[in-house]
Amino acid sequence: MRKLAVIGLGHVGATVAYTLVTKGLVDELVLIDTNEDKVTAEQYDILDMLARLDTYTTVKVQDYSTLKDADIIITTFGNIKVLSEGGNRFGEFDHNTEQVKSVGAKIKESGFNGVIINVTNPCDVIATLLQRYTGLPKNQVFGTGTFLDTARMQRAVGQALKEDPKNVSGYVLGEHGESQFSAWSTVRVKDHPISEIAKLHNLDLDVLDEQARRGGWLVFHGKHYTSFAITTCAIKLALAVLSDAHLACPASVYIEKFGCYVGYPAVIGSNGVEEVNNISLTDAEKIKLEKSANFIAEKVASVK
């Protein structure tokens, strides 16, 4: 039986729950939020779909004890109202670093021993704290991290070249935030290095990097939240865990040398992070990665 939980039923959490059920990806779903009315509303909105779906899902709410035998918890709690237009993901820092203490303690108390996929921002900091407060092995906790930012880079490059973004490979690394960077040495278009493609098509890679970094704020400007792309990322990662896919992708994973979680290539399977996929970077990219990781580590250290 495939059992998943979603903690935090805001725009992202609700979209994750809806997608899991409509696609028939879970047999049992647990929904938890501090807002009782919101949880009840989402539960019954889902229950009212079941008579029209080809699959059935049991939906339980507000009971941390039911997490004990869950396969995956997707954490999406937060307070989008504190984010300012064009700001950064650390707008939710104070609120979410307080929330994660309570959430982590309750997950630990439940006896949960599955995999946690964190979406809550600042993603890398919260993933680090979730692992600390739950006491789970580091491989069993990871975040969506730069999985989404990499998709935004693929979109930006694809748009510039009028290519399907799936024909663009490579990584955005570091913080899921302002210090992230496109590791252009890893990026290829239909297996051609982006450096060659950029010269051929007169592309400004700095502009494309900025488009990837600011992609979330472009969406936020019109919707005042983001939901579809991040939900797609979270569910793809969850499916990789459920099916033991050994999916090679960037995610927010624990890097020993930095002492925190940071966006980096990894392999995702039934145990969570099966391995960190160490790759070759240029000296300049190594410096950017270290700077970004140190920024995350400093933020983690500031949490009392």
Binding site feature residues for NAD(+): 8-13, 33, 96, 119-121
* Residue 262 one-letter amino acid: V
CA distance 103 to 109: 10
E strand or H helix at 179: none
Q: Are 146 and 177 in contact (CB under 8 A)?
A: no
Q: Are 7 and 103 in contact (CB under 8 A)?
A: yes
Binding-site entries? 8-13, 33, 96, 119-121
CA distance 294 to 304: 18
How many CB atoms sit inside 10 A of residue 206's CB? 10
Instruction: Spot the catalytic one: 176, 192, 224, 246.
Output: 176
CA distance 185 to 206: 13
176 belongs to the catalytic site:
yes
At residue 147's C-alpha, the angle toward residues 144 and 152, to 5°, is 130
- Catalytic residue IDs: 176
